Amino acid sequence: SLCAAGAPNLSYQELKDLKKANVLHIDVRERWEIDRFGKIPESINIPLGELMEALQMDPTEFKEQYNQKMPSKSDPVVFSCLAGTRSKQALGFAMSLGFS
């Protein structure tokens, strides 16, 4: 099983399989990167600089801002970026806020 403590790296196929299981996929790249390189289907874009604030929002505000149900602290979430550095930071942020 994949667990946050191990900070696992996922292959593209593993991510595709996880997305079938209703895992929330948060892309922490900047908006200009999404515009330039493309959006990953069914992911939501929350740039790393906004992530801490986003994960502490009121669920109604989160839904309005990101058009997605806010994850609970126990919901499965996958973070992605371009090279893996920012997604590891995002994982650390989420864990520091009590996400498992």
Q: For residue 16, what is the domain's CATH number?
A: 3.40.250.10
User: What is each CA distance from 51 to 11, 12, 16, 34, 41, in whole angstroms?
Assistant: 23, 23, 23, 16, 19
Is residue 3 in a domain? no
Is residue 5 in a domain? no
Number of domains in the chain: 1
Active-site annotation holder among 77, 81, 91, 94:
81
Q: Report pTM.
A: 0.84
Is residue 18 in a domain? yes
Residue 3 a catalytic site member: no
Structural domain boundaries enclosing 64: 11-95
Tokens of 80: 């992605």
Is residue 28 in a domain? yes
Is residue 6 in a domain? no
pLDDT tens track, the chain, 100 positions: 344 445 567 777 777 777 677 788 999 999 999 999 999 888 999 999 999 999 999 999 999 999 999 999 999 899 999 888 899 999 999 999 999 8
Is residue 63 in a domain? yes
